[in-house]
Chains A and B, each alone.
Chain A
Amino acid sequence: MRRIFANRLAFATAAIVILMSALFAFIRTMG
């Protein structure tokens, strides 16, 4: 269960990092 939690934590981290990378690109191209 705790490892499932760790998996979720890793996927949440990945999702945030990818979204933030997209935001970075968005700021660069729109700004």
Chain B
Amino acid sequence: MQVRYNLRGAIWLSIYLFFVLAPLFALLAGGLPPARDFWTEFSAALGYAGLAMMGLQFGLTARFRHVTEPWGEDVIYHFHRQISLIAVGLVLAHPIILFMVRPELVALLNSIQAPWRARFAALSTYSLIALLVMALWRVKLNIRYETWHVTHIVLAVVAVAAGVAHMVGWSFYVSSPWKRVLWIALPVFWIGVLLYVRIIKPLFMLRRPYRVAEVRKERGDTSTLVMQPDGHPGFRFSPGQFGWLTLWDSPFKITGHPFSFSSSAALTDGRVEMTIRNLGDFTSAIPTVPAGQRVYLDGPYGAFTMAGNPADMHVLIAGGVGITPMMSIIRTLADRGDTRLVILLYGSKDWESVTFREELETQQARLNLKIVHVLANPPADWTGEKGFIGAELFKRHLPPPYGDHEYFICGPDVMMDAIEKALAELSVPLSKYHSERYSFV
């Protein structure tokens, strides 16, 4: 399993590197302009590689299932963030090295007198810096998420388009037509991917709406949206996966909201449910959604599934509203008549806010399900587990060897970090646990 996990990772990384390095080394084919000094050539290579990586960013966040599948959507978004910093670093290193080895080029920073090819370079660089500052300090700068999202996309397109214009304008390595076509086609392809996600895909979603059949009140300031496909059969999902929900607007609205499905994947009528906690933002309006409301769902997504992961037993670890994908897993296993042991370690604030408390008890009659509630603020007469889920709790409730079970973890970041650390202490290999953070956007 670990070998397969590493192999998938290696293949994924190779494909990523191929898209960055193959176009770069293609520049060495055919006729070449006279070589310059090492640092100038190195700086040029960094510029090309940085541009290719910037283009690839559109592919990483384009919600392609096969791209995200080996890692999970949250890890891909994290990689997107980290690799952005690196790509910007490479792009900035390009002029900095050039200015150091050829100081006369500093004059190109004067955009009034500089040629267009230098102006485009400046535009690309400034867009990237603005993009980076807004991404790193969005909350501190008090920028609304929706505003940031639109600006992020616009700045990214401007940065890549201006980068291409600079490269074509300079024309040093792309003077031959096929090289120029290659290096223009690649960024155009990636921007095309963005158009596909933002225009073509929403057009398809427009023809496949859902209707809210019911809004169910749950414990813990949480509501379940029950949605039925309207005029189409809906989609099938694996328990643990999520979808992007567009509630009040058209699917062309730039910001969707990712939520796990909480319903059974064994349902055949296309009905899907999402259980959403009131966090004071967009989610506060969920209880007021009227029955019959038209909504749009983009999904299913996520690698947080049991598919292809045979195990002796499943350990589900949920914190707060992180119970929603677990509920889908439990309901699905029960509907399928699965006989394997399922242990649910479920952390909640207090006993009254335990979402799905009653249903979990009834599911125990249908499934070999053991539930361990862990309360942060337990009532005075509480005899169960209290505090937070950690390695000691695992040892009390899980049968060894710990590395043989399949673990599914969903909850707040702090809890996820602690549990991943605890599992590592118990020598559970990375391939045996699945986690998807719901705070990745």
Contact = CB atoms under 8 A, between A and B. Distances in A.
B17 A17 contact: yes
B83 A13 contact: yes
Contacts of B83: 10, 13-14
B24 A24 contact: yes
B421 A3 contact: no
Interface residues of B, number: 40
Interface in B233-285: none
Interface string A1-31: 1110111011111101110111011111101
A5 B24 contact: no
Contacts of B82: 6-7, 10-11
Given A2-B430, A24-B41, A27-B28, A18 B90 contact: yes
Interface in B9-57: 9, 13, 16-17, 20-21, 24-25, 27-28, 32, 35-39, 41-42, 44-46, 49, 53
Contact of B45 (A7, A11, A21): A21
Say whether chain B's binding surface is mostly helix, strand, loop, or mixed. helix
Contacts of A24: 24-25, 27-28, 41-42, 45
Contacts of B53: 17
Given A10-B83, A20-B24, A21-B49, A3 B17 contact: no
Given A9-B9, A25-B41, A18 B46 contact: yes
Contact of B75 (A5, A12, A13, A17): A5
B130 interface: no
B101 to A, nearest CB: 12
Contact of B420 (A1, A10, A14, A17): A1
A6 B71 contact: yes
B24 A29 contact: no
A21 B86 CA distance: 14
A6 B49 contact: no
B424 interface: yes
B430 A1 contact: yes
Given A2-B435, A20-B24, A28-B28, A13 B41 contact: no
Contact of B86 (A2, A14, A26, A28): A14
A21 to B, nearest CB: 4
B13 A12 contact: yes
A14 B35 CA distance: 25
A13 B27 CA distance: 20
Nearest to A31: B35
B8 interface: no
A28 B41 CA distance: 7
Contact of A25 (B13, B42, B75, B423): B42
Contacts of B435: 2
Interface of A: 1-3, 5-7, 9-14, 16-18, 20-22, 24-29, 31
Nearest 6 Cβ contacts at the A-B interface: A21-B45, A10-B82, A25-B41, A25-B42, A1-B420, A24-B45
5 contacts: A6-B79, A6-B82, A17-B21, A20-B21, A24-B42
Interface of B: 9, 13, 16-17, 20-21, 24-25, 27-28, 32, 35-39, 41-42, 44-46, 49, 53, 71-72, 74-75, 78-79, 82-83, 86, 89-90, 420-421, 423-424, 430, 435
